[in-house]
Structure 1
Amino acid sequence: MSTNIKSLEITKENQEKLDKVRGLSIDSKNQEGFLIPLLHEIQSLFGYLPQESLQIVCEETKISMSEIYSVATFYSHFNLEPRGEYIIRVCLGTACYVKGSQDILDKLCSELKTEVGKTTADGKFSIEAARCLGACGLAPILTIGEKVYGRLVSDDVLRILKNYEEYNE
């Protein structure tokens, strides 16, 4: 199994969720096209697709782990790692990129000490690069959750992060 899939801390609550995954897997396996909706359901339970849940799906449905992993990694909606409380998306579309969004992304990664596609050690922020966020007139932009920040320069990153009480330099 790939080491890219994060394991789950086994608590009573998580064990109950895994039991639910087992039941969902058993109930779903005879339905056509069940894998993607099943993965969506698992992700809604945990916030990502933990290794243990995928193993249960493999065992109960007799779908190979490689096929499950292929589906989970093909669709960008699925996450194999826990995501942060705040999802930061930096637009790298043409208009934003030309106006410096890569510098903003680099500054965010540096300040939060993480990489694109990863979550900070404290679990507060996840950073994503987006191809286009549809606000070219405000380029360059980033979003944190549903909030849009536009016409940015890399020096704006600290000011924006300070809006989130949990962020400490």
Structure 2
Amino acid sequence: MLDQSYYDKVDEIIKHYGRKASSLIPIMQDIQGEYRYLPGELLTYVAKEIGIREAKAYSVATFYENFSFEPKGKYVIKVCDGTACHVRKSAPILEAIFKELGLSPKKHTTDDMMFTVETVSCLGACGLAPTMTVNDEVHPVMTPEKALALINALKGEGA
């Protein structure tokens, strides 16, 4: 059960966009922006508040890859594995990050909620390959060593 403050924040977001079905996606984006994921309880609440069926809200949320029902860490790391990044050795970068953080393709977020690691098909920075982002900040021409140095710097910030 979520704290009342979550619902109060969602009420503010709904008020901003209006109580209409066409507001669903921007409302979900703002909720995820606020909490780094989309709590199911809030999606159910939003559906009721804007007058759509809960199933419709869930079908929209599951259609778009951007929405996540799982809590994400403070730092969301996206490692590109698109063609340009893959041929320039993005796989060893991902392996080094997984090893450093004790993660795997099945476990994406550290227990302390500090890091979430995801692979993506393209970050749109092919000329800078291999590329990764941390909270949407692009880090170009990465190597496993540079990635680990960045993670260690972030660990220092988070302490």
**Structure 2: tracts of 5 or more residues without a match:** none
Counterpart in 2 of 1:37?
Answer: 26
The alignment yields a C-alpha RMSD, in angstroms, of 2.9
Aligned pair in 2 of structure 1 residues 72, 167: CA closer, same or farther (>3 Å)?
same
Alignment check: 8 A CA contact 1:161 1:167 kept = no
Sort the Cα spacing of 1:159 and 1:46 in 2 relative to 1 into closer, same or farther, 3 A.
Answer: closer
In 1, the alpha carbon distance for the partners of 2:122 and 2:86 equals 10
1:40-62 CA distance string (max 9 Å, x none): 23223433211221121233344
Q: 2:46 aligns with which of 57, 60, 76?
A: 57
- The equivalent position to 2:123 in structure 1, one of 133, 138, 150, is 133
User: Structure 2 CA distance, aligned partners of 1:120 and 1:40?
Assistant: 23
Match of 2:139 among 134, 148, 151: 148
TM-score, normalised to structure 2, is 0.76
Q: Does 1:77 align with 2:57?
A: no
- State the alpha-carbon separation in 1 of the partners of residues 9 and 132 from structure 2: 36
Distance change in 2, residues 1:147/1:139 (3 Å): closer
1:94 to 58, 67, 83: 83
Distance 1:41 1:32 in 2: 15
TM-score (norm 1): 0.72
Between the aligned residues of both structures, percent identity stands at 39
Q: Distance in 2 between matches of 1:44 and 1:151?
A: 26
Deviation per CA, 1:62-81: give whole Å up to 9, x if none. 43332211111222332222
Structure 1 window deviating more from structure 2 (81-90 vs 109-118): it is 109-118
Counterparts of 1:93 and 1:78, CA distance in 2: 20
- Which consecutive residues of structure 1, in runs of 5 or more, have no partner in the other structure? 1-7
Runs of 4+ aligned residues of structure 1 deviating over 6 Å after TM superposition are none
Residue 166 of structure 1: CA displacement?
5.6
Residue 56 of structure 2 is aligned to residue 67 of structure 1: yes
Q: Once the 2 structures are TM-superposed, how far is the Cα of residue 143 of structure 1 from its aligned partner?
A: 2.4
Structure with more of its chain in helix, by fraction: 2
Q: Kindly tell me the number of residue pairs found equivalent between the two proteins.
A: 154
**Separation of aligned partners in 2, 1:81 and 1:88:** 15
User: Structure 1 68/136 Cα, relative in aligned 2: closer, same or farther at 3 Å?
Assistant: same
Conserved 8 A contact 1:22-1:56: no
